[in-house]
Amino acid sequence: MSINTDIADGVLTITIARPEKRNALTLAMYQAMSEAIQLARADATVHALLITGQADVFTAGNDLQDFLQQMPSGESSPVLRFMHAVLDCEKPIIAAVTGLAIGIGTTLLLHCDLVYVAEDARLGTPFVNLGLVPEFGSSLLLPRLMGYAQAAEKLLLGDMFSGTEAVRLGLANAALPSGEVLDHARAVARRFTTLPSAAVVASKRLLRAGLREQIDATINAEVAVFIERLGSAETREALRAFLEKRRPTVGVGP
């Protein structure tokens, strides 16, 4: 199994564990994470969730081979179910990020309540580079978080940025030496076991309520364009070029 789960000290830890593929996410992995989040929501002994990866990679994003074989086609997609599981989770979600965090490895952080990153982590949203468009509400949330100019640089050019810069841009709470990130995030997650759980849930609901309808609408709009892009010659060429480790041929048409 490429997703490991563990409950200890009131915290459900979800570990992405596919280092041989840079923790690239398959549909089965999305499904496993969704089920883990649902388990945490139903378990009264769980007060917080912690999502982490490996020392050198949080996740490289979607496994493109798996993705191209079973492309998302609507609400039943495991990717969409995972997104909604994260959005619907009333309990705090903490992320511990070291190494690479690409695509959804970065956009997921927009929906975590607390984010701790390695100073030398490398984050990026190279959707356009693959002929695609932003996902997980990032076209709404990144400009609100860091301003249009910075968001455009990240989403249109796909420029990578460090964990230290992620803190400066408001995407993460703190940047730490790589070896300290997981322990720090775990210690923060355990703090929720000492707090009144109903007050935590109600406060998270209030923090998130103002934007929820906009986020849902944005995700739906992004998915529609994303699926449309997947059928284009331009995107097929960009994805083939990525898998073949070559530069794509530009100007191949819609």
Q: Is 69 buried (19+), middle (13-18) or exposed (0-12) by CB count in 10 A?
A: exposed
Q: How many domains does the chain have?
A: 1
- Asked if residue 155 is part of any domain, the answer here is yes
- CA-wise closest residue to 183 among 12, 92, 50, 14: 50
- pLDDT tens for each residue of 36-94: 999 999 999 999 999 999 999 999 999 988 877 776 666 678 999 999 999 999 999 99
- Asked if residue 215 is part of any domain, the answer here is no
- Asked if residue 44 is part of any domain, the answer here is yes
- Asked if residue 170 is part of any domain, the answer here is yes
- CA-wise closest residue to 145 among 121, 120, 125: 125
**Which residues of the chain are modeled with pLDDT < 70?**
1, 71-75, 250-254
- Asked if residue 208 is part of any domain, the answer here is no
pTM: 0.94
Range of the domain at 98: 3-177
Token digits for 213? 């309808």
- Asked if residue 118 is part of any domain, the answer here is yes
The CATH number of whichever domain residue 138 belongs to comes to 3.90.226.10
- Asked if residue 231 is part of any domain, the answer here is no
- Asked if residue 77 is part of any domain, the answer here is yes
